[in-house]
Amino acid sequence: MINNIDVTLRDGGYQNGFHFPTDYAIKHVQALVESGVEWIEIGYRNGSFKPIPDIGITGVSPDEYIQEIHNAVPDAKLVVIAHPHNINHDDVVRMKMHGVSLLRICIKTDNPQPALALCEFAKMSGLRVSMNFTRASQININTLIDVAAQCEKAGANIICIADSNGSLRPEQTSRLINVLKCTTRVDVGFHAHDNPPFLIR
């Protein structure tokens, strides 16, 4: 079975500095629920990987923003994504309390422990967890298998590979997904990018 996660309010934020008004976010979430989209990512928690000046509300997803959306669209399965260096246990508890159902944690294969520890705590707090491998095209396949196994042990529900560079070909993507399906018992997700090629002059 395929489930969809809409990431417009988060990934689309790179186009407008994450300055989506809350009333727009609510309308967006409502429309997606009515359209049958299963999961809706409403933003980052406490910023992206690197600081962004004047970042908007969907780049930080404060408690009141999450709560307003949850109150307006209580049937929506809300998702927030975070980098481990930006959040702590209190953030996890508060996101769950205000209406988040799924936490997506970005994991670094060269230093997975902070993400794995957050995964364990988030699971204990009652959240579903997706562990997200960014720049998947640059990850050694054996490293991916090893860290994915650690994610499964930490309680992850989903392992998601993201083609952040927009460079994976269909056959490469199929291989990565098949490898993860054969070596773990968790659900596997894929986040594609269609980045424009660099011009060589």
Flag whether 199 is in a domain: no
The DSSP H or E segment spanning 52 is none
Cα dihedral sign for 135, 139, 143, 148?
A: positive
pLDDT band at 196 (very low <50, low <70, confident <90, very high): low
| pLDDT the model gives residue 183 | 95
Say if 64 falls within a structural domain: yes
Say if 156 falls within a structural domain: yes
For residue 16, being part of any structural domain is answered with: yes
Report the alpha-carbon angle 149-153-158, nearest 5: 70
Whether 10 is covered by a domain: the verdict is: yes
Average pLDDT over residues 34-58: 96
What's the CA gap between 59 and 198, in Å, rounded? 27
Kindly report, residue by residue over 82-139, the tens digit of the pLDDT.
999 999 999 999 999 999 999 999 999 999 999 999 999 999 999 999 999 988 888 8
Structural domain tally of the chain?
Answer: 1
Q: Is residue 54 classed exposed, middle or buried when 0-12, 13-18 and 19+ CB atoms within 10 A define those classes?
A: exposed
Query: Does residue 200 fall inside a structural domain?
Result: no
- Residue 197 DSSP class: P
User: What does the pLDDT look like over 2-15, one tens digit per residue?
Assistant: 899 999 999 999 99
Q: What pLDDT sits at residue 197? A: 54
CA 37: distance to chain centroid?
16
pLDDT bin (cut points 50, 70, 90) of residue 1 is confident
pLDDT of res. 84: 98
Domain assignment present for residue 201? The answer is no
**CATH number, domain containing residue 91:** 3.20.20.70
Whole-model pTM above 0.75? Answer: yes
